[in-house]
């Protein structure tokens, strides 16, 4: 708005003064060291405009040649900015090469210039962390702008990297909400809650995870299995699984129907002695394409002798997929539950034959 106002004033002044200068050109005479310059007032104005244009072009060329963001005519300031930019470049190179002490040193020097200050502080915090300078890393993170996602992310992430997920959660608890659109911050909070074992808070966060699309479809498909089986089995300890519990009812309907959630439900049922109900839930939900993700959790469910229906399901899959190692691994687990070690060993050998990664 201010620029527009200044432009209007300039145009109005030109319209008013232009005819006056044309009709009354005036006369200016300058003598310096024996040299004499004579021109009209209008000629002087035109010369000043041309000089300003030349200076602007020179400044533009300097910015491109020396890759500086701003051109300062204060020599010492320009020199300081140039040294800071060189330090930033060297710091980035050292960071990429994982030369952490050198990266931290150069990035700290680069902070002498305010250009990209946030990025410099973030990188410096991680460089100090990997260099083993925890206090300096925390200071760099604390120096970031208050109530900024970047500050919260770096502070929480540094705690996670120190295997202190509860402290990471404390940084984010009052900051991440259902309205948080920053995917990186939302993802970090989910990982922090998961590693801290704060399952109740994590399950309450699931609607926000879905609403804000913090994870893409393949990511969330895998993460479900890392969350629901353990979370539901842990939260239902002692009292057994309760479908009226808040942690279950607060989940979106689609999530409650997912295979990962059903495995958690079955795990909780089996731990409370309801092995037949647990097996029934697994048979009704388990799909072959999800078996690679589900198997590690199914093997921890104490089904005991309630495995007949699940074994029939596995054998049915085996008819059309006789080289699927995960099916043999499932059969090995079912045989173990019944105490049939010989069949369990045979099935496990088949599993390793077709899927060596299971070993």
- Find the mean pLDDT for residues 59-77: 62
| CB under 8 A, 24+ apart: contacts of 329-335 | 329/295, 329/299, 329/355, 329/358, 330/291, 330/295, 330/298, 333/295, 333/298, 333/299, 334/303, 334/307, 334/310
- Find the mean pLDDT for residues 44-56: 80
Neighbours of 31 (CB within 10 A): 9
Q: What is the pLDDT of residue 352?
A: 95
Nearest residue to 177 via CA among 226, 224, 211: 211
Confidence grade of residue 327 (pLDDT, cut at 50, 70, 90): very high
Give the orientation angle of helix 259-271 with respect to helix 275-285, to 10 degrees: 170
Confidence grade of residue 5 (pLDDT, cut at 50, 70, 90): confident
Mean pLDDT across the chain: 87
Question: In this predicted structure, which of 244-248, 308-312, 325-329 has the lowest mean pLDDT?
Answer: 244-248
The dihedral region occupied by 238, where left means phi > 0, alpha psi between -120 and 50, and beta the remainder, is left
Q: Which segment, 32-41, 141-150, 241-250, 268-277, is predicted with the most confidence on average?
A: 268-277
The C-alpha torsion from 14 through 19 and 23 to 24, rounded to 10°, is: -30
- Find the mean pLDDT for residues 335-348: 94
Q: What is the pLDDT of residue 284?
A: 95
| pLDDT above 90 as % of the chain | 62
Sequence-separated (6 or more) residues with CB below 8 Å from residue 64: none
* In contact, 308 and 315? CB cutoff 8 Å: no
Nearest residue to 173 via CA among 145, 150, 144, 201: 201
**Does pLDDT of 12 surpass 80?**
no
pLDDT digits (tens, 9 = 90+) for 296-311: 999 999 999 999 999 9
Task: Give strand pairing partners of 101.
Answer: none
pLDDT digits (tens, 9 = 90+) for 75-131: 566 677 788 888 889 999 999 999 999 999 999 888 878 888 889 999 999 999 999
Nearest residue to 177 via CA among 207, 153, 147, 154: 207
Confidence grade of residue 10 (pLDDT, cut at 50, 70, 90): low
Q: Which helix H or strand E contains 37, and what residues bound it?
A: strand 35-39
Greater model confidence, 239 or 287:
287
Confidence grade of residue 26 (pLDDT, cut at 50, 70, 90): low
Greater model confidence, 119 or 48:
119
Confidence grade of residue 72 (pLDDT, cut at 50, 70, 90): low
The dihedral region occupied by 199, where left means phi > 0, alpha psi between -120 and 50, and beta the remainder, is alpha
Task: Give strand pairing partners of 30.
Answer: 37
- Residues 149, 150, 153: CA angle, nearest 5 degrees: 85
pTM recorded for the entire structure: 0.76
Q: What is the pLDDT of residue 17?
A: 64
pLDDT digits (tens, 9 = 90+) for 186-216: 999 999 999 999 999 999 999 999 999 999 9
Question: In this predicted structure, which of 109-113, 150-154, 164-168 has the lowest mean pLDDT?
Answer: 109-113
pLDDT digits (tens, 9 = 90+) for 259-303: 999 999 999 999 989 999 999 999 999 999 999 999 999 999 999
Greater model confidence, 246 or 80:
246
């Amino acid at each position: 708005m201010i620029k527009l106002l200044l432009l209007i004033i300039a145009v109005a002044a030109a319209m008013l003064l232009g005819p006056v200068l044309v009709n009354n050109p005036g006369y200016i005479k300058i003598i310096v060291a024996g040299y004499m310059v004579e021109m009209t007032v209008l000629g002087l104005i035109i010369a000043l405009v041309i000089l300003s244009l030349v200076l602007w072009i020179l400044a533009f060329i300097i910015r491109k040649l020396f890759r500086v963001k701003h051109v300062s005519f204060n020599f010492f300031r320009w020199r300081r900015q140039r040294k800071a930019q060189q330090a930033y470049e060297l710091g980035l190179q050292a960071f990429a090469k994982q030369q952490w002490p050198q990266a931290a040193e150069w990035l700290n020097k680069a902070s002498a210039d305010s250009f990209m200050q946030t990025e410099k502080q973030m990188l410096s915090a991680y460089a100090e962390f990997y260099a083993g300078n925890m206090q300096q890393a925390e200071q760099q993170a604390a120096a970031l702008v208050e109530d900024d996602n970047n500050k919260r992310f770096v502070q929480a992430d540094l705690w996670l990297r120190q295997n202190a997920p509860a402290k990471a959660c404390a940084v984010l608890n009052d900051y991440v909400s259902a309205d948080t659109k920053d995917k990186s911050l939302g993802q970090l909070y989910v990982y922090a809650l998961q590693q801290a074992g704060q399952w109740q808070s994590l399950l309450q966060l699931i609607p926000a995870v879905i609403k804000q699309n913090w994870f893409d479809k393949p990511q969330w498909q895998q993460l479900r299995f890392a969350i629901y089986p353990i979370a539901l089995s842990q939260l239902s300890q002692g009292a057994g699984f309760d479908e009226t519990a808040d942690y279950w009812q607060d989940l979106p309907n689609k999530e409650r129907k997912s295979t990962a959630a059903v495995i958690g439900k079955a795990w909780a049922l089996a731990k409370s002695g309801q092995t037949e109900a647990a097996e029934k839930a697994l048979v009704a939900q388990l799909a072959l394409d999800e078996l690679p993700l589900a198997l590690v959790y199914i093997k921890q469910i104490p089904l005991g002798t309630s495995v007949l229906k699940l074994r029939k399901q596995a054998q049915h899959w085996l008819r059309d997929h006789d080289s699927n190692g995960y099916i043999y691994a499932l059969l090995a687990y079912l045989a173990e539950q019944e105490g049939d070690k010989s069949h369990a060993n045979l099935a496990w050998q088949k599993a390793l034959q077709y899927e060596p990664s299971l070993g």
